[in-house]
Structure 1
Amino acid sequence: MNTPIIRADLVTSSDGPFVAAAELTQRESRETSLHSHPRGQLMGALNGLVSVGVNRQQWVVPAIHAIWIPPHYEHSVRSHGPFSGWSVFIAEDRCAALPAEPRAIRTTSLLREAVHRAAGWPGTALDPQQVRIAEVILDELAASKAESLGLPAPDDARLARITDALAANLADARRLEEWAAWAGLSPRTLSRQFVAQTGMSFAQWRQQARLLRALELVADGVSVTAIALELGYDNISAFIDMFRRATGTTPGRYRVEGVGARGCLRESG
């Protein structure tokens, strides 16, 4: 059974403080079925990794990233093993200036520290100092840039069969023409429908799936060599190059940044 991360009234009602936050550490996996609420929610991982289902996409939330879910958007949440995470719930009337669509963001140290402070509040009226910290959270979210941490799912059953098979074995190096024959499609139809239904080419979708899996494995402390092999890269350099182009840093540096963020929050508590 999931431990509630915060009082129910601070999620379901816009009454009370316009920002309510909480942190949670849990040894077992956590899963929340599809639901929605009137407050917007910003959720992030401190340790481990969380997947969020929203808008027919799976969004991966590795450490130092967060997912913004505007009010009334249906979403589901699943952690991959033990994790520590946080959530901020923002009153609906304060969400007008915030992103109107769900997005993944890379958090700043200022945002993480402000959330950590807010997580210690009792859920009552905010004093002037708390209001200033809450406004920092809103300002940081409003100024954030969208990150590519989502993977859209196709509607067509034949395309879904391909994406399911790829997700089960990302090292599978079959070309588009081979996948089309396997699913009973012409290569042209597969190529056209992939873009129409996911907004990505087949090659882009496969690379994004590999990147998101790599982020999961990096968060779990798996070696770069093992990750490259699992994802089907011929050599480690090719994998590191892909990771750097997608994230702006290397897998090793990305892991260090995530550990540094978690350590900073623990020390400040």
Structure 2
Amino acid sequence: MQFNLNGKTALVTGASGGIGQSIAIDLAANGAKVAVNYLSNQEGAEETVRMIKDQGGEAIMVQADVTDLDQIEVLAAEVQDKLGTVDILVNNAGHLVERRKIEDMTIDLWRKIIDVNVTSAAFMSKAVIPGMKEKGSGIIINLSSVAAHDGGGPGAVPYATTKGAIITFTKGLAKELAPFGIRVNALSPGFVDQTKFHATFNTEEGRKATVAKIPLGRGGVPQDISGAVLFLTSPYASYITGETIEINGGMFMK
């Protein structure tokens, strides 16, 4: 199914690989001009932009640390200048950072995890909301996780906490922005294979054990998430706001 995003500008944070890369590519394939944000993986961001251009799309890459409020403002201004007002913001940037039990937690690590997963989404949204209000429309999509519901794996309490916060943030922001024609929703992926995240924080034995418990019998792929993004940016989702869509093959059902 094709969705017409011609004339729309999309900004995807953390789009140098994995889920973010897939989201950026699919948005561009359906007509959006895409800003590919990255922190340190310049090669991955270049690959994302190259893949978009190879399929005839338009994209730029913009380096910024989205936990830094000054850099967020610079990022938003650059996208505005080069591609126009942001119509679609996907707050994909996020990280478990490190597995550590609460009894061994430091305030610096706690704050780092909060900032990369929650502060980034809040202040990235803040930066693009004025432009969306001026246009009378806009779409913000936040990335949560199944960890928000089950507390996450070992040493992941801070990460799970932030992903729960994203669901609440999504609901509150949706109410705040609905009068201005701006819809805000969240996606909550379960186990997604083919990503650096799981390659870093899970063993092969753990991966197989997780997949064995998934009713649909497979791990997810980044395209499972980017497909949901396309749906939420389409007219088919025009009456959906404040919701969290679970994408996990049945491993968690509400």
TM-score normalised by structure 1 residue count: 0.26
Mark the structure with the bigger radius of gyration: 1
Instruction: Answer 1 or 2: which has greater strand percent.
Output: 1
- Give TM-score, length-normalised by structure 2: 0.27
